[in-house]
Chains A and B, each alone.
Chain A
Amino acid sequence: MSPTRRDFLKLTTIGGAAATLFGFDLKPAYAQLRTLKIARANETRSTCPYCSVSCGVIIYTIGDRAKNVTPQVVHVEGDPDHPINRGTLCPKGASLEQDILNERRLLKPQVRRPGGTEWEDISWDDAISEIAQKVKKTRDDTFIEKDAAGHTVNRLESIAWSGGCTDTNEFNYLVVKTMRSLGVVHLENQARV
């Protein structure tokens, strides 16, 4: 007679869960358990910010999820399931953890004035105001409404825009709209994220 599922379940539930049923001594394991320092990590999929290849990465953050604790990045590795890189990373991508956690990373805007040799701190509001003033002055001074032949061109050749690889598609869309409205023609993005 072939065994039934009921026979099997009966067999599997005769005992119980713990290894104590085998007769092993679990005291040393419990003693070791008290000394274990276990950290909770979360794995998050992301995209390497450097170049247009867009390699997949997995970022490890630790933190016990308490409200007053900021999760800390502890490790970044290639995503082996990602179809583009299958876990591989270039040297820049492999050092992403240092990109996120770096004491030399700038956390506020700075400005170096014409002729100056030192970088000075500046507030975000002041930085944005100064940039806006300079853009307006440059545009007012150098805007080309008509070319030498009298054709209307409405272009601004004295300002150029070079987009970074971390810019998202949506950000790049806004950049193009903004730059075109100013008349900027020297415009390059790395649209891919």
Chain B
Amino acid sequence: MPEKTGAAEYGARIRRAESLSSPHSSATEFLQFYVHVVSFQKLLHANIAAAHQVKPSSDVSSELRADIDFAVVLPHFRGYLSVIENHAPPALAESARQMALLGSDSWIASLEAYWQHAGIYEQQVGAFAQFLPRAFLQPYVEFRAGSLPRAPQVTTPRLCPLCGSRPLLGVLRPEGDGGKRFLQCSFCLQEWEFRRILCPSCGEETEDKLPVYIAEDSPHVRVEACDTCKFYLRTIDLTKDGNAIPLVDDLAAIPHTLWATEQGYLRLQPNLLGT
């Protein structure tokens, strides 16, 4: 399992997005925008960490979905909206501009709505509408999740043991001569162990009904589908490419998403950019 998220992890995401920008021509526009987003997230994460060092009594160790500490995050929201307005494609930039015109009460309502419900309900269609609160709160939720104690895992839960959200991604990490599967949470981005050859949506375990689709030119990106419930899990195989950063390589795999949709499969949860 990866170490706690910090500046190094954000730096790795930036570098990976930059390195994938050129060879993955179809994802260049997405990744160049993502670099701006994650650069902002890196700064925000550092600010959150600094604020909690100054004020160590802050309540970061209670339940993950406890109230947001708006005194820490809200001062950064306007700056965030201008980053999006300046670098996003037109539709999203307009959305950020509209949000900037609203008052802080509306910002709080939007952030709280996302905070309380994200990842819990089926929301394959919500990537665009969720983007503004999701990208902004990601560093905050990662910081909080990193501070929570982890109980030893004895079962195979299909929802995040920390926050109860649905998985965004599968990650295969080297274990012996194979790859152990972890699921990455769509809300708090933490990983938990999950058995191979088992559908995280419906629990199907018949091997014939769980095909894995792999493209020749990107063997580390897997579409792990279920022919029973027709959902699929995007999985990044780190035994095939140890340089991959699951969160970033997932964003770059746009053709895989289009292909899976053509085959009639639905993604369990959309990623940040709906790819």
**Which of chain B's residues have a CB closer than 8 A to the CB of A37?**
215-217
Give residues 144-192 of B contacting A (CB, 8 Å).
175-181
**Which of chain B's residues have a CB closer than 8 A to the CB of A114?**
none
Complex: chain B residue closest to A41, CB-CB: B212
> Are A32 and B195 in contact (CB-based, < 8 A)?
no
**Which of A12, A14, A26, A30 has the most C-beta atoms of chain B within 10 angstroms of its own C-beta?**
A12
How far is it, in angstroms, between the C-alpha of A78 and the C-alpha of B176 when the chains are bound? 7
> Are B129 and A80 in contact (CB-based, < 8 A)?
no
B109 proximal to A (CB < 8 A): yes
> Are A3 and B127 in contact (CB-based, < 8 A)?
no
**Which of chain A's residues have a CB closer than 8 A to the CB of B116?**
2-3, 8
How far is it, in angstroms, between the C-alpha of A128 and the C-alpha of B26 when the chains are bound? 62
**Which of chain A's residues have a CB closer than 8 A to the CB of B223?**
38
A31 proximal to B (CB < 8 A): yes
How far is it, in angstroms, between the C-alpha of A79 and the C-alpha of B130 when the chains are bound? 37
Least CB distance, B87 to chain A, in whole angstroms: 12
Interface size on B, residues (CB 8 A): 63
Least CB distance, A95 to chain B, in whole angstroms: 11
Least CB distance, A1 to chain B, in whole angstroms: 8
> Are B117 and A5 in contact (CB-based, < 8 A)?
yes
Complex: chain A residue closest to B225, CB-CB: A40
Known A-B contacts A41-B211, A78-B176; the reply to A5 vs B254 at CB < 8 A is no
Q: How large is the interface on A (under 10, 10 to 19, 20 to 34, 35 or more residues)?
A: 35 or more
How far is it, in angstroms, between the C-alpha of A40 and the C-alpha of B118 when the chains are bound? 32
A15-23, A146-154, A156-164, A172-180: which one contacts chain B?
A15-23
**Which of chain A's residues have a CB closer than 8 A to the CB of B125?**
12-13, 15-17
**Which of chain A's residues have a CB closer than 8 A to the CB of B90?**
23
Per-residue interface assignment for chain B, residues 80 to 92, with 1 indicating a CB less than 8 Å from any chain A CB and 0 otherwise: 0000000011111
Main secondary structure of the interface of A (DSSP, over half): mixed
Known A-B contacts A86-B176, A87-B176; the reply to A36 vs B211 at CB < 8 A is no
> Are B181 and A80 in contact (CB-based, < 8 A)?
yes
**Which of chain A's residues have a CB closer than 8 A to the CB of B256?**
36
B204 proximal to A (CB < 8 A): no
B200 proximal to A (CB < 8 A): no
How far is it, in angstroms, between the C-alpha of A7 and the C-alpha of B109 when the chains are bound? 10
A121 proximal to B (CB < 8 A): no
Known A-B contacts A11-B113, A24-B89; the reply to A42 vs B211 at CB < 8 A is yes
How far is it, in angstroms, between the C-alpha of A7 and the C-alpha of B259 when the chains are bound? 32
A77 proximal to B (CB < 8 A): yes
Complex: chain B residue closest to A13, CB-CB: B125
A45 proximal to B (CB < 8 A): yes
B13-21, B50-58, B70-78, B267-275: which one contacts chain A?
B267-275
How far is it, in angstroms, between the C-alpha of A100 and the C-alpha of B227 when the chains are bound? 28
Known A-B contacts A13-B129, A26-B258; the reply to A45 vs B207 at CB < 8 A is yes
Least CB distance, A28 to chain B, in whole angstroms: 4
A189 proximal to B (CB < 8 A): no
A191 proximal to B (CB < 8 A): no
**Which of chain B's residues have a CB closer than 8 A to the CB of A86?**
175-176
Report B's interface with A, CB cutoff 8 A. 25-30, 33, 88-93, 109-110, 112-114, 116-118, 121, 123-131, 175-181, 195-197, 207-208, 210-217, 223, 254-256, 258-259, 261-262, 270, 273-275
Report A's interface with B, CB cutoff 8 A. 2-3, 5, 7-9, 11-19, 21-26, 28-33, 36-45, 58, 60, 77-81, 85-89, 93-94
Q: Which 10 A-B pairs have the closest CB atoms?
A: A87-B176, A12-B126, A23-B89, A88-B176, A15-B128, A3-B113, A23-B91, A8-B117, A80-B180, A28-B26
